[in-house]
A = this chain, B = another copy of it.
Amino acid sequence: MRPSERQPNEMRRVSLERRCSRHAEGSCFVKFGDTHVLCTASLEDRVPPWLRGGGRGWVTAEYGMLPRSTTERMRREAAAGKQSGRTQEIQRLIGRSLRAVIDLEALGERQISVDCDVIQADGGTRTAAITGAWVALHDCVQWMAARDMVQPTAITDHIAAVSCGIYKDTPVLDLDYLEDSDAETDANFVMTGAGGLVEVQATAEGKPFSEDEFAALLALARHGIGELVSMQKLTIA
């Protein structure tokens, strides 16, 4: 039995609130249960140095947690003077995931910076962030399309993510913090709307996992991501 009394293949209550920021070109406040992430997409008229003059655009992501988004207050990274390895790993993952479904040539020499800030954390912040970030990115591209800066088809597919894990020997979907702390294996999957795999990250926290266990996690992820993509479609409809 899961602490939350969910079925193994049951996600938490998910919501996607579009256009939640007055200033950003695209934004989404995403909730996976008690995990709340604010995603904003900002259009910027510049690209990283290595792309300058090439006519191609870029999508990048930054991730942060408010100091008291967690059970214990964490030190503010701005005060510590650097981003942790975990933060950098997550923001690289979000950026790669988003770039898998956008046509960077079509963007022109512009950058979209997607900020994912965790307001409250209860496990799965990176997967909620990717799922919400897609909505923010979509709306930013729509904003650009409305101004003839880009074709709406620059977004080539949906992208969404979910975590799975082996908890008390059972493969379960969408771990919350209690499960995550206790899981033997912990995995994150990122897939497109068409069902293609974009990122797979699985880690044995305790004993190694088998190929069969991995297959069970992947099947759960496919199910959960299917639901998330459906919600994205409703949200932008």
Contact = CB atoms under 8 A, between A and B. Distances in A.
Interface string A157-198: 000000000000000000000000000000100011010111
A71 to B, nearest CB: 5
Interface in A195-223: 196-204, 207-211, 214, 218
A214 B202 contact: no
A34 interface: yes
A100 interface: yes
A92 interface: yes
B92 A85 contact: yes
B202 A207 contact: no
Contact of A218 (B62, B71, B198, B211): B211
Interface size class of A (residues with CB under 8 A): 35 or more
Interface centre among A76, A119, A191 (most CB of B within 10 A): A76
Contact of A204 (B81, B85, B100): B100
Contact of A62 (B67, B86, B208): B67
What 9 pairs across the A-B complex have the smallest Cβ distances? A196-B208, A85-B88, A77-B78, A42-B73, A40-B68, A200-B202, A78-B78, A24-B68, A89-B89
